Amino acid sequence: MPATPNPFKAALAGGRPQIGLWLASAEPAVAEIVAHAGFDWLVLDGEHAPNDLRSLRDQMMVVDPSPSHAVVRLPIGEAWMVKQVLDAGAQTVLVPMVDSAQEARAMARAMRYPPEGIRGMGASGGRVSGFGAIADYVQTANQQVCLIVQAESRRALENLDEILATDGVDGVFIGPADLSADMGFPGNPTAPEVQEAIARALRRIAASDKAAGILARDLDEARRFLDLGATFVAVGIDTLIFARALRQLAGDARALL
């Protein structure tokens, strides 16, 4: 039996737009609710959310049986972290702060078994192989893993063409927040200079054989990013949605008094 097909990877390769949501709560119960809400993909955030390997695994356990696809974001691009989340069940990995083709190649190799890569051969005892039930996992996994790298600095945009030419990279995700800070506009991704840089980057990615992704602040922005060629767009963050809804409810309830 081969590795489980990766529907998100297939959708990106086919140019089919995918709508996603960011999960920063680090809670499996929240992930289970969101996983059945109708999103194509969900980011389990290991960079800025209070996640560890076990909490990422527990969220994958409730997302995997759902119609949504789990995308695991690492804290940083380290080969040992890639290996751990893959063995825990991840198929798609999002790596932040990738500034060069050399860094992208290193992550592509970390995602794959030899001879294409350097991934350690220890999946038979892990969740990703069904604890040994998927007999042909190591022979077929390279075809189903999906690597998304984040371009979120001026250096990354300068090296974008080389990153896009890197074998084993399936998509490039633009990070507006860190990019705006690196460009001298911290906390202001709406600055015209930043928005123009994002638009140019999305067009360049869309013109390549890779998929373009980004996180939008609202649906109008999401529409604009899709029109610029983005294939996978996240439209919100679970903790912000929850907090805003609670503040609105509290305010509306107090208005009754």
Instruction: Show which residues are catalytic.
Output: 48
Per-residue buried b or exposed e for 138-164, using 16+ beta carbons within 10 Å of the residue's own CB: bebbbebbbbbbbbbbeebbebbeebb
C-alpha distance from residue 149 to each of 10, 142, 188 (Å): 17, 17, 22
Q: How far apart are CA 17 and CA 102, in angstroms?
A: 28
> Nearest CA to 29 among 241, 238, 256?
238
Cis status, amide bond into 189, omega within 30 of 0 = no
Structure tokens at 36: 């059945």
Task: State CA 170 to chain mean position distance.
Answer: 11
Compute the distance between CA of residue 239 and CA of residue 12 in angstroms, rounded to an integer: 27
DSSP secondary structure string for all residues of 99-162: -SHHHHHHHHHHTS-TTT----S-GGGSGGGTTTTSTTHHHHGGGT-EEEEEE-SHHHHHTHHH
Amino acid at 100: S
